Amino acid sequence: MSVIWVVMPKWGLSMESGRITEWLVSEGDEVAEGDELCEIDTEKIAGALESTADGTLCRVIAAVGEVVPVGATIALVADAAVAEAAVEEAARAAREELDAGVVEEVAGPEVGCVEVAGRSLAYARSGEAGTAVVLVHGFGGDKNSWLFVQEPLAADHVVDAIDLPGHGESATDVGDGSLATLAAAVTGYLDARGIDRAHLVGHSLGGAVVTAAAAAAPDRVLSLTLVAPAGFGAAVNAAYLRGFAGATSRRELQPHLRALFADESLATRQLADDLMRHKRLDGVAEALAALLGTLLTDDDRAGLDALSLLDGLDVPVMVVWGRQDAVLPFTNTAAFDGRRQAGQCEVRAVDDAGHMVHMERPSAVVEAVRALTRPR
């Protein structure tokens, strides 16, 4: 094992630097792949950086409070076989690079759009080799919501995060807004990108969408990872959904965003501003209204039933759910009891996480996906 250079990650297209707010391990500590090393604050949101290798954290290069450019080395990991002189030399070079501010620019994900059924679908692709993984966000979200998950998965896979119609940088036309229309957008994306088969990962509405896509084209799907999926269980926070869709200002929106996280401090002003910027675009309000009609009945009951779509589907299914989910409560996992007991799926509960479990506890989601994507 050589010295592993732990660098400031690029979490999102606009991220240029991050501030170390806390080191969660100390020099000399043994770390394993997936262990959280430090907390990083960005302009968008705070998150934990995970180790990409097993070894010893032999040097911390960037101190707490230091603002570090994307791509700059913040720590070194190595094992006992690496000579101390080599570690010292690597640490000296890393510190000099950081002090000089000369850091090689880090290429972000490949971004672009494809045409599917007359609609433009935006995507961000990371990774150069391996089986395909496609990430599908929830209602009102976009591909950037996977920022903490896409990068670690890209070490072993080609990972595409897409914007559903009516979201992000995709066309605002959602057609009838039905689950079938959204699922066709996903399978159409696979066609447009020449992806024969993929591991599908969906959050919230995206969970129902990837389930419907798998039911419609089972030969195109290698596995399903459902993160707090809609369409499974009857409980739904209709007030949140209607409040999100109807908010016309940051002041109206921000209280609703607190329902997304176990740690309400993550519902930042910046997050609300970014969402309102998108909601004010022509056609977005109409798109969200159409999709709301898919998610909720007129009397505010859950409008989707995706459970039956799993019938006859012979692919591995993993369910990941935050115990503090205030939008689609954890009790909805009871919908999977029969399948779980029959060995047809696995359900993983994540402590200290709300509806946005892939942002609050990304390592839990990454590990769940890896459990299905590892060669069998």
Handedness of CA 343, 323, 48, 186 (dihedral sign): positive
C-alpha span between 327 and 257 (Å, rounded): 10
How many residues appear in the chain? 376
CB-CB contact of 77 with 38 (8 Å):
no
C-alpha span between 181 and 192 (Å, rounded): 16
Q: How far apart are the first and last CA of the chain?
A: 26
Cβ partners under 8 Å of residue 126, min gap 6: 109, 110, 150, 151, 153, 154, 158, 159
Domains of the chain, earliest start first: 3-100 (2.40.50.100), 110-373 (3.40.50.1820)
C-alpha span between 75 and 90 (Å, rounded): 10
Give ∠ CA 25-30-33 in degrees, rounded to 5: 90
* DSSP code, position 348: E
The model's pTM: 0.84
β-bridge partners, 31? 55
Cβ partners under 8 Å of residue 316, min gap 6: 222, 223, 224, 345, 372
Q: pLDDT value at position 53? A: 83
3-state secondary structure of 269: helix
Q: What is the pLDDT of residues 228-266, one digit of tens each?
A: 999 999 999 999 999 999 999 998 998 999 999 999 988
Q: pLDDT value at position 84? A: 87
C-alpha span between 212 and 216 (Å, rounded): 6
C-alpha span between 369 and 35 (Å, rounded): 16
List the pLDDT tens digit at each of the 376 positions of the chain. Answer: 578 899 998 877 677 889 999 999 999 999 988 788 999 988 767 788 888 888 999 999 999 999 999 889 999 999 878 888 888 999 999 999 888 877 776 677 899 999 999 999 999 999 999 999 999 999 999 999 998 899 889 989 999 999 999 999 999 999 999 999 999 999 999 999 999 999 999 999 999 999 999 999 999 999 999 999 999 999 999 999 999 999 999 989 989 999 999 999 888 888 888 899 899 999 999 999 999 999 999 999 999 999 999 998 999 999 999 999 999 999 999 999 999 999 999 999 999 999 999 999 888 999 999 999 987 6
